[in-house]
Homo-oligomer: A and B are copies of this chain.
């Protein structure tokens, strides 16, 4: 909610989790796509894909020790093949068929159970979908994957990247509510940071204060905090913090991904310390207007390429190459970055209920670069901001 002055009012906290109806719907939609692709099932191994179809939500994935599998058959509910340690939590989900083993078991970490599950399909020379394209990775040992394939010689593997990403790109009302909530928290954090940042504060302390403020204001966590500060501007946007104190003449940028109930916001803000150079002010103004152009172009029917070109045409006022970030924004959801990418190569059609970042960047000489970012949701005719829009001019803190 915005009160018309660009400040954000924190709303009531939404409900955690999702209804069974929502998981049923996700599964049914996947099954429609699977039928079109001639797939007898989907085998999923990543945290996000497993969570998307089951609701299984735990930080335990941070341990690389155990693989977790979900098989979405062509009909009926997904089947979980998981370590026994997760059975109690999975039983609280909508999944009925939960097959477990005592993990870790390096010689057989779920492979025999998977083989038994998939052998009938292998005998029929069926095709199953596995995401193996852009932005995916197989979250199990490669050696185990090779063993599994060798034991199922009839099975045909179909690249199911588009099926899974295609579904995940379009958010449900409940997902949008969660994303809106964390974007509002993120906006409030940046608005507080304006009063916390000061000359002499080490960059490391800026990051620490950001995290404390985000968690204090209701984020579950702030796992992604990167940024930079340097004289007249910065040249890198993915670094961990140094202990260098902020100095008059610096431009500071903090980019952040905070989470609530497993959903991310992802946006950044810039500040000048004490005063700003004309060039930095101009870069900021160009990016502010490029963001406006991006938001205006973000409507159903346009493509990611259109969005990219709309931003690029403004960025070109100051920089005709663009900072080499490779794209000008992306999808947002359970991951800090999701499909689609706003890039010249991407003809993905924008659709209602996509949640996107609008993220123009530019280089403005002497190795300096600047980035801007907002988060939006697409309605039926136009985009709505989920973040409180950045100040019109590069804000100066003292």
**Interface residues in chain A, defined as those with a beta carbon under 8 Å from any beta carbon in chain B:** 57-60, 62-66, 83-86, 88-89, 102-107, 109, 130, 132-143, 145-146, 159, 161, 207-208, 211-212, 215-216, 220-226, 235-240, 257, 324-327, 330, 335-337, 341, 343, 345
Q: Write the nearest CB–CB distance from A237 to chain B, whole angstroms.
A: 7
Chain B residues lying within 8 Å of A221, measured Cβ to Cβ, are: 211, 221-223
In the bound complex, residues from chain B placing their C-beta under 8 Å from that of A220 are 207-208, 240
Chain B residue with Cβ nearest A218: B208
Provide the bound-state CA to CA distance between A153 and B88, in Å: 46
A62:B238 contact, CB within 8 angstroms: no
26 sample A-B contacts, Cβ–Cβ < 8 Å, listed by A number: A57-B240, A59-B224, A59-B238, A62-B257, A64-B337, A65-B135, A84-B324, A84-B326, A85-B324, A85-B326, A88-B235, A103-B326, A104-B343, A105-B326, A105-B345, A109-B134, A132-B141, A132-B146, A137-B138, A137-B139, A141-B161, A142-B145, A208-B215, A215-B215, A221-B221, A223-B223
Tell me how far the C-beta of A117 lies from the nearest C-beta in chain B, rounded to whole angstroms: 20
Contact between A63 and B337, CB atoms less than 8 A apart: yes
CA–CA, A140 to B335, complex, Å? 16
Complex contact A337–B65 (CB within 8 A): yes
Q: Is the CB of A58 within 8 A of B141?
A: no
Contact A106 B345 (CB under 8 A): yes
8 Å CB contact of A325 from B85, B145, B235 = B85
Chain B residues, CB < 8 A from A215: 208, 211-212, 215
Residue on B nearest A159 in the bound complex, by CB: B143
Number of copies: 2
Q: How many Å lie between the Cα of A57 and that of B63 in the bound state?
A: 19
Q: A89-B238, A137-B138 are in contact. List 19 more A-B contacts (CB 8 A).
A: A58-B226, A60-B238, A63-B336, A64-B135, A64-B137, A85-B237, A85-B238, A85-B325, A85-B326, A88-B235, A104-B135, A106-B133, A109-B134, A132-B141, A132-B146, A137-B139, A137-B140, A208-B215, A221-B223
Distance to closest chain B CB from A153 (angstroms): 17
List the B side residues contacting A66 at CB < 8 Å: 326
Chain B residues with Cβ under 8 A from A143's Cβ?
Answer: 132-133, 159, 161
> Taking the nearest CB of chain B, how far is it from the CB of A168, in angstroms?
12
Given the contacts A84-B324, A141-B135, A240 and B105 also touching, CB distance less than 8 Å: no
Tell me how far the C-beta of A369 lies from the nearest C-beta in chain B, rounded to whole angstroms. Answer: 9
In the complex, how many angstroms separate the beta carbon of A105 from the nearest chain B beta carbon?
7
Q: Which residue of B lies closest to A85 (CB)?
A: B325
Distance in Å: Cβ of A341 to nearest Cβ of chain B: 6
Determine the residue in chain B with the shortest Cβ distance to A240: B57
How close is A193's CB to chain B, nearest CB, in angstroms?
15
Report the 6 A-B pairs with minimum CB-CB distance, sorted nearest first. A132-B142, A106-B134, A63-B337, A60-B238, A88-B236, A132-B143
